[in-house]
Structure 1
Amino acid sequence: MESKLLLHMNSGKGERSYANNSMLQRKLMIKGKHILEETITRFYSNYSPSCMKVADLGCSVGPNTLLVISNIIDIVDTTCTRLNQEPPTFQFYLNDLFGNDFNTTFKSLPDFYKRLDEDKGHKFGSCFINATPGSFHGRLFPNNSINLFHSANSLHWLSQDPLLEFTKEAESFNKGHCHIVSTSPPAVYQAYLKQFQQDFKFFLKSRSEELVPGGAMVLLFLGKNKTHRRTGWEIISLVLNDMLLEGLIEEEKLDSFNIPVYEPTVEEIRHVIQEEGSFFLQQLEILILPWDEGLNEGVDANIKAQFMAKVARAIMEPLLSAKFGREVIIEVFIRYEKKLAQLMEVEKLESTTFVISMTKNA
């Protein structure tokens, strides 16, 4: 089975679901909202479409998906009031891979529509919400059909295992690990970078063909800055390596598994945007948040580690279960939690997120 079919978050609304363990992602969206506001205001002031067509790429599942829609509706509503215009009809397309739990989101829509009607009133334009399953690494919509693309916490995921085409000899370069770690040779880093460049370039090309003239895009995704910060993917790799040494997982399974995630630098992002050539980069801001963002100050380190481990499990459990079996998952995240508690005593655990606004070139 292709890895991309397994790249989905934990479904439903249970204790381990992504819907209940995505507070950090929500905080990032709130902190980056001002760029979304500026992008929409700029676009709407120039074009004022009668039907505002928006696609949320990598929407996943849970309240964050509907927060995006609410934010966009509020921003357009404010802009229309300022311009003394009638509000448009809205068409939202929720996109993610075929294994995504769209049903949980759609079960929330009756309450969402009710709140929208109470908040905006009958004078507000209609709002239609649909699912568009498929990979955002390729085409999803007809030419010149979308006004705005939004994507949060998704584009660091690659379209495939970056070491997929390596020979058996090359696989041994990163033996015992499933992501970039401090001991990984340059060839591993270069393979990840090359896959990101190919994916991001094709992503930009696809979106430029689907956007209307002057259409815009707001992207939030993990990256890295000049200060080295440990990643959750690295910690997962270290945990799995420990379990391999103890004989708890099979060597062949770990050697054939690489987490398809790459966190680019600002320079790497700019290079691909300039090389592809379809977009003008309007804004790029860097957000740095601690992994325990959202918890009260003074919370015990063990509680913080438990919180962060639940977030990681909501993201990684489907992929790890498919590769190593469900029976090892509990042990993986027990160890992940313990390693987090140890690391927090000696270093800051923070993530770097880029918030990017682009406009399609004429």
Structure 2
Amino acid sequence: MEILQVLHMNNGEGETSYAKNSNIQRKIISVTNSRLEEAILNIMCNNKKVPESIGVADLGCSSGPNALMVVTEIIDIIDATCRKSGSSFPELRISLNDLPGNDFNEIFRSLPAFFQKIKEEKGSESCYVAGVPGSFYGRLFPLKSLHFVHSSSSLHWLSRVPLGLGINARTALNKGKLYISKTSPSEVINAYVSQFQKDFSSFLRSRSPEIIPGGRMLLSLMGRSSIDPTIEDGCYYQWELLAHALSTLVSKGLVDEEKIDSFNAPYYAPCPEELKITVEKEGSFMINHIDAFEIEWDANISSNSPAQCEDKKILLSRGQQVAKTIRAVVESMVESHFGNEIMDDLFSVYSDLVDDYVYKKRAIYVNLVVSLTRKD
């Protein structure tokens, strides 16, 4: 699977689009606001005066209503700091990064209104925004051009399916599963751990020359609370339910069983210890904080009431809402492997399975937030 080509959130503004099904990601960004403010204030206050030009990058920005959310918050923090100190608002160089399949056109269409708002509210026209398509597991920006790097809900995506688990593998090591499972052999778990360590090290190594000494990074990603990668709060059970849904379609003759055996998700939810070890081993950054917080699978609606679909004015069960959220994120790569014709059936079955699961258990994600400083 060529991740660079097939991994992107669902484009557009339809019912299965990321734009209409990204409340979980928005909630995660909101929860990390205090760490964001801390990082930006550190950049502003560590200088004798406010820098004349500040470089900011949001990696894995996606599109839709969340795409400029972090940038807007950063501008508000900088503006408040400048007003308090009597300093001039600095020139801002904003870089929005995601893989080439991202809907950058949708982002660019929203920029005129964004610039107008900054001009009216902040009295500044010195904000420059650029789209930077490409993988953040390699270099993206010039030397020492960035003061702050942000990434939310992105670094749990790997650069590739772990070695030995791809579609061309001689033996299906993870039969019937799409990700790490309690029944996965140690070879599968080790392959995922190794790929994450390699990718996260590449990410840090790529950002190191791009960020000025003393610059900051704030990274949030799906994780888990235990060193055990099969713990249910590590999101593995959502992949387990999706594998179950695909198996149901196998029994109906809609999917070949071999297709499931040859698909493994390019995803890994680490524990805090894994992040710490990798950061320390790479050596370019100092960890300021590693925080963890829980968020329910359907965080955008009450656990006791269904959600309402704005366009169709119909009520959605918790399972249907979760299925829409997951579909908006994983459909591009699932479709590339299994075909478009089963997508509606797949996520219909999946929503029923999720409904049953959340009725019995409290279904949560664990999100990790890592604050880092570039060493001198």
* Band the TM-score falls in, shorter-chain normalisation: over 0.9
- Alignment partner, residue 262 of structure 1: 268
Aligned to 2:129: 129
Listed as ranges, the matches of 1:1-362 within 5 Å are 2-47=2-47, 48-120=50-122, 122=123, 124=124, 126-164=126-164, 171-226=171-226, 228-229=232-233, 230-231=235-236, 232-300=238-306, 303-362=317-376
Q: Is the 8 A contact 1:137 1:202 kept in 2?
A: yes
8 Å contact from structure 2 (residues 166, 262) kept in 1 = no
Helix, strand or coil for the counterpart of 2:158? coil
254 and 163 in structure 1: CA distance in 2 versus 1, 3 angstrom threshold = farther
Offset at residue 235 of structure 1 (A):
2.0
Report the Cα distance in structure 2 between the residues aligned to 1:295 and 1:167, rounded to whole angstroms.
37
CA contact 1:96–1:133 (8 Å) conserved in 2: yes
CA distance in 2, matches of 1:101, 1:174: 33
CA contact (8 A) 2:217 2:371 kept: yes
Question: SS of the counterpart of 1:174?
Answer: coil
Aligned partners of 1:80 and 1:86 also within 8 Å: yes
Task: Say if 1:27 and 1:168 are closer, same or farther in 2 by CA, change over 3 A.
Answer: closer
Identity of aligned residues (%): 41
CA distance in 1, matches of 2:32, 2:168: 43
The alignment partner of 1:42 has SS state of helix
Task: State the shift of 1:298 in Å.
Answer: 2.4
> In the alignment, is the contact (CA less than 8 A) between 1:151 and 1:218 conserved in 2?
yes
CA contact (8 A) 1:171 1:255 kept: no
C-alpha contact (below 8 Å) 1:163/1:258 kept by paired residues: no
CA RMSD of aligned residues (A): 1.8
- 8 Å CA contact 1:19, 1:61 repeated in 2: yes
| 1:169 CA drift (Å) | 7.7
Change in 2 beyond 3 A, CA 1:215/1:83? same
Range with bigger deviation, 179-188 or 163-172 = 163-172
Q: 1:171 to 1:349 in 2, by over 3 A?
A: farther
Indicate if the aligned counterparts of 1:144 and 1:210 stay in contact, CA closer than 8 A. yes
Deviation at 1:246, TM superposition (A): 4.0
**Secondary structure at 2:317's aligned position in 1?**
helix
More helix by share: 1
Question: What is the TM-score normalised by the length of structure 2?
Answer: 0.91
Q: Deviations over 1:289-336 (max 9, x none)?
A: 101112135204962111111101100111111111100111110011
Q: Which moved more, 1:301-310 or 1:181-190?
A: 301-310
> Against the structure 1 CA distance between its residues 183 and 297, is the aligned structure 2 distance closer, same or farther, given a 3 Å change threshold?
closer
TM-score, normalization by structure 1: 0.95
Separation in structure 2 between the aligned mates of residue 61 and residue 325 of structure 1, nearest angstrom: 24
After superposing the two structures, state which structure 1 stretch, 199-208 or 297-306, moved more. 297-306
The alpha-carbon deviation at position 113 of structure 1 amounts to 1.7
AA of the residue aligned to 1:355: V
Matched residues, number:
360
TM-fit CA distance, 1:3: 2.6
Q: For residues 273 and 253 of structure 1, do their structure 2 counterparts lie closer, same or farther at Cα, with a shift above 3 Å needed?
A: same
Q: By how many angstroms is 1:234 displaced?
A: 2.6
Query: Does the residue aligned with 1:157 lie in a helix, a strand or coil?
Result: coil
* Cα distance in 2 between the residues matched to 1:139 and 1:313: 30
Q: CA deviation at 1:111?
A: 1.6
**How many angstroms apart in 2 are the aligned matches of 1:130 and 1:157?**
23
Residues 292 and 125 of structure 1: is their aligned pair in 2 closer, same or farther, counting only changes over 3 Å?
same
- Whole-Å separation in 1 of the counterparts to 2:367 and 2:7: 20
Whole-angstrom distance in 1 between the partners of 2:8 and 2:220 = 18
- In the alignment, is the contact (CA less than 8 A) between 1:285 and 1:356 conserved in 2? yes
Q: Any gaps of 5 or more consecutive residues in structure 2?
A: 308-315
Structure 2 CA distance, aligned partners of 1:134 and 1:21?
A: 24
CA deviation profile, 1:182-218 (whole Å, cap 9, x unmatched): 2111211111010000000010011011111111101
Structure 1 range deviating more: 302-311 or 204-213: 302-311
Cα 1:42–1:143 change in 2 (3 A) is same
Contact 2:160–2:266 under 8 Å retained in 1: yes
TM-fit CA distance, 1:287? 1.5
Q: Deviations over 1:66-98 (max 9, x none)?
A: 111100101111222233211101111110111
